[in-house]
Amino acid sequence: MIYNKGKEVVRGFVMNRKVYESVMSGESDNNIKYSDFRKLIIDLGFEFRRQRGSHTMYFHNDIKEFLNIQKDGNKAKGYQVEHLRNVILRHSM
């Protein structure tokens, strides 16, 4: 991994290290901005699949995992942040 002004290069993607660390710490699951959460999902290699109502679906081809995310105001939902953390840990991302 290469660090550059708070950004981290992982698998060719530039990722915000602070957001990644917030997700991985588990201390602020209900306080992560939705836009940062969505960008992190994309930076980790997930691709947009579809949107139905407020539900946005992302899929990762390499690990065959789906993520279904929704906004809670301008924040990501805590249980969805926890789900992403578990996916990251399960697949050593």
What local confidence, expressed as pLDDT, does residue 47 receive? Answer: 95
pLDDT tens for the chain, 93 residues: list them: 444 445 555 544 556 888 999 999 999 999 999 999 999 999 899 999 999 999 999 999 999 999 999 999 999 999 999 999 999 999 988
What local confidence, expressed as pLDDT, does residue 54 receive? Answer: 92
Residue 44 structural domain: 2-90
Backbone angles phi, psi at 49, to 5 degrees: -110, -50
What local confidence, expressed as pLDDT, does residue 68 receive? Answer: 95
Number of domains comprising the chain: 1
In this structure, are residues 60 and 46 in contact, taking their beta carbons and an 8 Å threshold? yes
CB contact set of 52 (below 8 Å; sequence gap of 6+) = none
